[in-house]
Amino acid sequence: MITEKDKALKKLKPIAKESESSPMREMMKMMEDRKGLLSLSAGEANFDPPEELIELASEAMRKDRNRYTSTNGIPQVREAVAEFVNDQWGAKVDPAANILMTVGGMEAIFLATRVLVQKGDRVLLPDPGWGVMRTVLERLGALLAYYPLEEKESWFIDHEAILSRIDGQTKLVVINSPSNPTGATLSKEGFKALIERAREKGFFILSDEVYHNYVYGGEHASALHFDSLDNVVFINSFSKTFAVTGWRLGYAIAHPWIIRQMGIFKESISLCSFSIGQWAMAQFLPHCGRYLRKNREFCQANMQRLVTRLNAIPGVRCPSPKGGIYVFPDFSRIEPSSQELFRRLLDGGVAVVPGVFFGQKGEGRARLMFACPTDYIDRCMERIEATLRGKPSTVVTKLPGNLS
């Protein structure tokens, strides 16, 4: 609280509302001080990064790779990224002109939206969708509109629902495939239709594909399949794929003019991205396939296990996600308020993310992460089952203030 004696502080105006703070950030704070609480709330994989990657990072440190790099990233890692996207999706990109290494996918998104969006521009977002994207665009003064993700046996992104909402004022369409929190994916045909409309109408597509490795059944469809960056900004990160979220290393692929603008802006924010990670990934990325397959199979087995147990609880309905590392079950027959559900499960000793954080279509739902050891999922589910069936809880937890 600012008091009368805080003369300097009284002259300041907030640049962000404290209510904009993510509930996940609050839960992480809470986890640091609380014993006994289990969490399926994290937005990161809870398994080990590849041992070879860690060794390469250690070697880079010993070889004195601990210095600044160029703002766009070392040439070796940009060449490795270009090779990777060509192998994965047949994309031909110029490492020097089309790629910018960033401080995680978050910085890539911030820089891209800062270049693409001005105050008053209309932007289409998914509902449900990642709440931080909404906050970033609101701070830029964008006019937000939403397209609904659809749910049948699984969640999916209906490109017709997006096309029907595009008008002459639309500047940007945000795609997150696979989606956080639903695991919804956009088909290759859907991407093609959107890119063709973008060329015709003159808007951009920001394609956030940080969960690309986690697609269950079929191959991941990417905006890069179509070998054109005139209307596409592609966002990716090593964090989710290689379990190195703390490294804060991602990248953007876009038209050279957009990459130059993002790079100039980055100079005054972070100057460059994590040097050690760049050197390590430059060597590991060309032969990472075995690690990616192993973790995709592990996550798919965990997902199926978690979906089965959730659907066995009377009143709970959990569709199998097509991708990603989360399930987004419907608890509304038990508890229609996702915030009250959050309270109940916290009191039962398990942290989840309330569905309403992801938009109005998330009400009555919660996001649960399954990229973690199988026995950990089992322990969490024992507590969830006991809590929802009305058995006494053993852990009492105070709710974060911004979720009261």
pLDDT tens digits in sequence order for the chain, 404 residues long = 667 778 898 888 888 876 666 665 665 666 566 678 999 998 888 889 999 999 999 999 999 999 999 999 999 999 999 999 999 999 999 999 999 999 999 999 999 999 999 999 999 999 999 999 999 999 999 999 999 999 988 999 999 999 999 999 999 999 999 999 999 999 999 999 999 999 999 999 999 999 999 999 889 999 999 988 999 999 999 999 999 999 999 999 999 999 999 999 999 999 999 999 999 999 999 999 999 999 999 999 999 999 999 999 999 999 999 999 999 999 999 999 999 999 999 989 999 999 999 999 999 999 999 999 999 999 999 999 999 987 544 444 444 433 33
End-to-end CA distance of the chain: 19
Enumerate residues 6+ apart whose C-beta is below 8 A from 322: 154, 155, 156, 178, 183, 184, 185, 215, 216, 217
Within 10 angstroms of residue 290's Cβ, the number of other Cβ atoms is: 9
Q: Is the dihedral of CA 221, 225, 231, 234 positive or negative?
A: positive
Q: What's the order of all strands across the beta sheet hosting 353-354?
A: 326-327, 366-369, 353-354
Contact 367, 351 (CB under 8 A): no
Location of each CATH 3.90.1150.10 domain in the chain: 9-48+290-403
Location of each CATH 3.40.640.10 domain in the chain: 51-287
Output the six-digit token pair for 396. 């009492």
CATH of domain 51-287: 3.40.640.10
**C-alpha pair distances (Å), 85 with each of 51, 92, 235, 256, 285:** 23, 8, 12, 17, 11
pTM (two decimals): 0.93
347 burial (CB, 10 Å; 0-12 / 13-18 / 19+) is middle
Q: Which fold has domain 9-48+290-403?
A: Aspartate Aminotransferase, domain 1 (3.90.1150)
Omega before 319 within 30 of 0, i.e. cis: no
| Helices and strands, counts by H and E, the chain | 13, 14
